[in-house]
Structure 1
Amino acid sequence: MALLKLELDTQEIIDNFFDDTRLLGIVTTVKDYRFCWNLNNMLEINFRINHDIEIGLKRKKDNISFQFMNIMNPTAHFHYLYNNLHDGEFLLPEFKNLDFLWLMKNDTVTEEYLNQIKAMLRNIPGVQLVTELTNEKIKNKEYLIF
């Protein structure tokens, strides 16, 4: 008896997830805990590590777990801050120059709001670059979905 092999097509799930998202790439010279502390204090938000969910990837025979932070505020859903580097491996290898990725998913993320966030990020000590990443530039979108 031949086994039937089913393959899950995730492209539609990925496309739907990224319909109303904005993604910022951030380069900073400070450690992740210091950057997050500055981010929370200067922008008056509350990013916290989410210990309940990790993004697990298999790289070079090793399993790597990437933690991420989300805003712990019930009115500010769908703001996630990913550390792009863990144990010498990158969450999104196509963006090796970026330290953090800030994903905002909500139809209320207007151009004005995004520009305000970028301006505030540039005022945080140690931040060298803030850039918006278009969905077309992201090769491994599925790594940002948990």
Structure 2
Amino acid sequence: MKLKLNIDELTEDFFCDTRLLGIIASVKNYQFCWQLNRLMGYNFRLNPDIEIHLRKKERSYFFPVYQHAVRNSSLSHFLYHNHYDGEYLLPEFKHMDFLWLMKGDCVENNDCSEIIQTIKHIAGVQMVAELTNEKIRNKGHLVF
């Protein structure tokens, strides 16, 4: 008997109770994380264990993922870099430099709005917008 992994089901489970922000910012990913950590008291760190690896046109692309786990909570924040060597993690959002995923616990609207307002005050940030799950065609690319 052959078992088949249901990717759609896996992806839906992964995205249950998540919020996703798209960010346009002309700063390096490590500088952006440093500013988030300083302004918000977060502790974003590069997590090489969940780096996203995509193969396209017989080439490998690596998208770093930074992670911040909220103390005494199941909530974690993940910051993906959307570009790597001319390729995009989410091609439908090519204009977005970063993708911020909040996962593991429900994030209330006012908490999400507060995060968006704080990000907007970071030097080099041009835009922050919440991306709804329906608009994301390549959700599977964010699953680690």
Q: How many pairs does the alignment contain?
A: 143
* Structure 2: stretches of 5+ with no match in the other structure: none
| Pairing 1:29-68 to 2, within 5 Å after superposition | 29-68=26-65
- Which secondary structure state, in structure 2, belongs to the residue aligned with residue 57 of structure 1? strand
Q: Deviations over 1:98-139 (max 9, x none)?
A: 000000013330001000000101111111000000000111
For 2:8, the aligned partner's letter is Q
Paired with 2:42 and 2:76, the residues of 1 have a C-alpha distance of 13
Paired with 1:106 and 1:81, the residues of 2 have a C-alpha distance of 14
The answer to whether the aligner puts 1:23 opposite 2:20 as a matched pair is yes
How far 1:78 moved relative to its partner? 2.1
TM-score after normalising by structure 1: 0.90
Paired with 1:25 and 1:73, the residues of 2 have a C-alpha distance of 20
* Structure 1: stretches of 5+ with no match in the other structure: none
| Pairing 1:1-146 to 2, within 5 Å after superposition | 7-75=4-72, 77-146=75-144
Paired with 1:46 and 1:106, the residues of 2 have a C-alpha distance of 17
CA-based RMSD: 1.7
Paired with 1:40 and 1:119, the residues of 2 have a C-alpha distance of 15
Paired with 2:69 and 2:9, the residues of 1 have a C-alpha distance of 28
- Which secondary structure state, in structure 2, belongs to the residue aligned with residue 52 of structure 1? helix
Paired with 1:125 and 1:131, the residues of 2 have a C-alpha distance of 17
Structure showing greater Rg: 1
Aligned identity (percent) is 50
